[in-house]
């Protein structure tokens, strides 16, 4: 399955992101999550990637589970941090043999595995990894965009320059980091188009799952918890899990509604390996006949 074919033939494309389960109990829970979300009719699913040995194997096994056993169109991530060219080709050869056709390319972060040492010829930027893959494989490649700028970027404009380099080197679509104000995304798209980036740019949606998780992830990802969202968070009892989840669903539905009216090519949901919120959001949007 080539993602660009989807973005060229329907609107909106619905995609969902997952990370590899850590153990057998996690695999069982994951299988249940996928079964529940399949009913929401996603167009494809993605699996994140860890450069460390154990997490690398877990990524492959999860892609295999989705693609071969659960028959779900699947995109595999690859993160190049610390990996040498031979490591990269070994991973990609396995994905190619599995039947994967689309790879989502990120630089990635330092693995948490004890003793992990970066390869001296590892790729410092996603754009370099994209060029390496494009010159050797026939995968369709995707890359990440950051509507508020990458947390390490000196400026949004400079970050868009790096994004342009990714696209020039072979990335055929962009999936964005999540945000809580659509204005960030819409202005970002305008700036990207002005910079000559013409590929599909897809917004990422991260529902509020818990107050603690929202605050922690926003800090790590550099996402602004807006005044509008903060007011809603302050008004709910953090201990009332059902109320927090409902807040998250309602906020995301309104956000997605605005994005769909703006004509986005798709919606990419960061599920955190949970089914309830993502399915509720999609069901609500379908009830409004937004797709």
Return d(Cα 162, Cα 76) in angstroms, integer: 22
Q: How far is CA 8 from CA 57, 126, 154, 247, in A?
A: 32, 24, 33, 33
Return d(Cα 124, Cα 195) in angstroms, integer: 23
Return d(Cα 206, Cα 178) in angstroms, integer: 6
Q: Token pair 């695999």 is at which residue? A: 27
Give the burial string for 85-123 (b: 16+ CB within 10 Å, else e): eebbbebbebbeeeebbbbbbbbbeebeeeeeeebeebb
Q: How far is CA 291 from CA 183, 265, 286, in A?
A: 22, 12, 6
Q: Which has the closest alpha carbon to 8: 198, 135, 216?
A: 198
Assess contact for 142 and 117: CB atoms under 8 A: no
Assess contact for 145 and 165: CB atoms under 8 A: no
Q: Which has the closest alpha carbon to 40: 248, 234, 282, 250?
A: 282
Q: How far is CA 267 from CA 16, 140, 203, 244, in A?
A: 8, 19, 6, 22
Residue 17 known to be catalytic = yes
Q: Which residues are catalytic?
A: 17
């Amino acid at each position: 399955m080539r993602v660009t074919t989807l973005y060229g033939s329907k609107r909106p494309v619905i995609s969902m992101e997952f990370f590899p389960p850590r153990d057998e109990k996690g695999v069982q829970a994951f299988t249940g999550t996928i079964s529940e979300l399949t009913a929401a009719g996603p167009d494809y699913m993605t699996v994140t990637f860890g450069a460390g040995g154990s997490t690398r194997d877990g990524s492959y096994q999860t892609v295999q589970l989705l693609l071969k056993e659960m028959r779900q169109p699947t995109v595999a991530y690859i993160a190049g941090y610390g990996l040498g060219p031979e490591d990269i080709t070994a991973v990609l050869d396995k994905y190619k043999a599995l039947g994967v056709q689309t790879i989502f390319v990120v630089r990635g972060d330092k693995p948490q595995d004890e003793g992990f040492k970066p390869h001296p010829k590892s790729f410092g930027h996603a754009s370099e990894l994209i060029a390496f893959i494009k010159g050797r494989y026939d995968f369709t490649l995707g890359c990440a965009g950051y509507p508020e700028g990458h947390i390490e970027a000196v400026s949004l404009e400079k970050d868009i320059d790096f994004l342009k380099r990714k696209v020039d080197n072979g990335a055929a679509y962009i999936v964005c980091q999540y945000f809580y104000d659509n204005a960030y995304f819409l202005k970002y798209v305008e700036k990207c188009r002005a910079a000559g980036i013409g590929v599909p740019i897809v917004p990422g949606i991260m529902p509020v799952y818990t107050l603690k998780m929202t605050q922690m992830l926003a800090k790590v990802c550099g996402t602004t918890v807006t005044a509008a969202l903060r007011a809603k968070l302050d008004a709910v009892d953090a201990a009332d899990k059902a109320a927090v989840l409902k807040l998250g669903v309602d906020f995301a539905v309104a956000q997605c509604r605005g994005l769909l009216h703006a004509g986005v090519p798709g919606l990419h949901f960061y599920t955190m390996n949970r089914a309830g919120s993502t399915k509720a959001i999609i069901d609500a949007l379908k009830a409004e006949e937004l797709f």
